[in-house]
Amino acid sequence: MSKQAVSITLDTTVIEKIDLLATTSDRPRSWLIAQAIDSYLLDLEDAEEAIKRSRDPDDAVISEDELRKTLGL
């Protein structure tokens, strides 16, 4: 996968938190930011899929109790 530099502006307090985590985890600042963005994008994709499914009249919606019973929990 190729990489490309991107410039962003963040609050100083956010940068300080990132730098502290980078130091304690022995990871580069850029790695932490990339991981955070990747995680956010995955969550966003999941949320969009959930919304899409909830609007699909052919996709059955079951309660938590029904799910637990189906799974034998």
Distance separating alpha carbons of residues 51 and 49, to the nearest angstrom: 5
Q: Are 64 and 70 in contact (CB under 8 A)?
A: no
The ranges assigned to domains in the chain are 12-71
DSSP state of 26: T
Return the number of other C-beta atoms located less than 10 Å from residue 2's C-beta: 3
32-to-22, 35, 36, 68 alpha-carbon distances in Å: 7, 5, 6, 36
- 1-30 pLDDT per residue, tens: 899 999 999 999 999 999 999 999 999 999
- 28-73 pLDDT per residue, tens: 999 999 999 999 999 999 999 989 988 888 888 888 999 999 999 9
Q: What is the pTM of this model?
A: 0.70
Predicted pLDDT at 54: 86
Under DSSP, is residue 7 helix (H, G, I), strand (E, B) or coil?
A: coil
Predicted pLDDT at 57: 86
Predicted pLDDT at 60: 81
